[in-house]
Amino acid sequence: MSNISYKDAGVDIDAGNEFVEAIKADVKSTFDENVIGGIGSFAGAYALPSGYKEPVILSATDGVGTKLKIAIESGKLDTVGIDLVAMCVNDLICNNGVPMFFLDYYATGKLLPKNAKDVVAGIAEGCRRAECALVGGETAEMPGMYSENDFDLAGFAVGIAERSEMDTVSNVRPGQVLVAMPSSGVHSNGYSLVRKLFFDKLGMGLDTEFEGKPLLETLLEPTRIYVKEYKANKANIKALAHITGGGIVENLPRVLPEGIRAVVRKEDIRVLPIFEFMRQYVDEEEMFRAFNMGVGMVWVVEPENIDAVLANTDGYVIGELVSGEKGVELV
């Protein structure tokens, strides 16, 4: 019996080395002055920024969900990395955490360096948009665990906050105004329902025209990253809610104290065309629980600061906070 190699078992070490070489430029493009060392060490190192009285380290982790299926089936892999970063860093800023660095985990049945490079290029682009450094990652080639074309992604973001600024719930009171920050599309939640509706129920394809372009482009529009807007308006934001799975009705209460109710005017929400189309086939209550409906974040702002925030962003008012049972009322 002849000897076998790791490659015979489905793992190509040479392909892994080729991939690492291919991504070095993208990864280095995200580095800032706090990154210590380079690529290839056992751990990424990052110096704590100065200027904090009581610095607290925050972390967030997430994936992209079944949006990956659409990317894999289409072969367009250069945007899901942006989604991966977005889902993590948008959570960090909700606790006044400034993203510092990011790591990714890429698991696949067979490592195809070109495909993996496209994914990491998207992750690097997401890091640039979030103004954080991509300091490390892990690539796992696992034949038998995934089919050759399949892969999964996980991301890990680490940020820093001032301890005294972390408790945003204590800043919230009746009379404050709810500002919607527009989403770029479906973002990265609800894609199991999206795929069921468009592909199974309606028999549409990725190349079907929707709003003047292939449906694929709308479905793979990357999740918007709000870090820069947050930094520019932090002084005028009392609390932030990232609108992900569960929609406005389940995410906005996470920043409300007991005795405060959010009143959201549905007619003021600038619902995106993709959601207008879907609501023909999905109950409205289900739509508001599964999707962002065009609102990627909700900011809580004092009435006297509304003009400054609206002048400095593309946000718009969708409601206000009142006394009452904790929760969201859609009117």
Residue 248: which CATH number? Answer: 3.90.650.10
Which of 137, 166, 195 is at the close of a domain? 166
Closest CA to 57 of 24, 95, 26, 85: 95
27 and 38 inside one domain:
yes
Q: Which residue's entry shows tokens 């999964």?
A: 152
In a domain, 251, yes or no: yes
| Residue 1 included in any domain | no
Q: Which of 30-39, 260-269, 311-320 is the least confident region?
A: 30-39
Is the pLDDT at 76 greater than 70, yes or no? yes
| Judgement on whether residues 145 and 284 belong to the same structural domain of the protein | no
Residue at which a domain ends, from 118, 146, 166: 166
- pLDDT interval class at 8 (50, 70, 90): low
Q: Which of 123, 143, 166 is a domain's end point?
A: 166
CA separation, residue 88 to residues 59, 158, 226 (Å): 8, 9, 11
Instruction: Answer yes or no: is 158 within a domain.
Output: yes
Residue 6: inside a domain? no
Written as one letter, the residue type at 73 is E
**Domains in the chain: how many in total?**
2
- Given pLDDT bands bounded at 50, 70 and 90, which one contains residue 243? very high
Write down how long the chain is: 331
The pLDDT, as a whole number, for residue 19 is: 74
Q: Which domain holds residue 49?
A: 13-166
Same-domain check for residues 258 and 324: yes
Inside any domain, residue 2? no
Secondary structure class of 61 (helix, strand, coil): strand
Q: Are residues 235 and 303 in the same domain?
A: yes
Same domain, 211 and 319: yes
- Neighbouring C-beta atoms of residue 136, cutoff 10 Å: 20
Is 245 a domain residue?
yes
Q: Are residues 139 and 217 in the same domain?
A: no
Establish if 5 belongs to a structural domain.
Answer: no
Which of the residue ranges 6-20, 63-77, 134-148 would you say has the lowest mean pLDDT?
6-20
The CATH number assigned to the domain holding 29 equals: 3.30.1330.10
Q: Which residue has the tokens 């569960």?
A: 246
**239 and 145 share a domain?**
no
Its sign, for the CA torsion 323, 325, 328, 329, is negative
For residues 118 and 28, state if they share a domain. Answer: yes
Say how far apart CA 265 and CA 259 lie, in whole Å. 20
Residue 223 pLDDT? 98
Residues 202 and 244 in one domain: yes
Q: List the one residue out of 267, 311, 49, 19 whose CA is nearest residue 158.
A: 49
Q: In terms of domains, do 130 and 180 share one?
A: no
**CA distance linking residue 297 with residue 286, whole number of Å:** 19
Show the tokens assigned to 252.
């906005």
Pair (121, 197) in one structural domain: no
Question: Is residue 173 included in any domain, yes or no?
Answer: yes
Residue 10's pLDDT band (cuts 50, 70, 90): low
Q: In what order do the strands lie in the sheet with 177-182?
A: 239-242, 295-301, 177-182, 316-323, 260-264, 327-330
Span 37-46, mean pLDDT?
A: 81
* Maximum mean pLDDT: which of 13-22, 43-52, 135-144, 317-326: 317-326
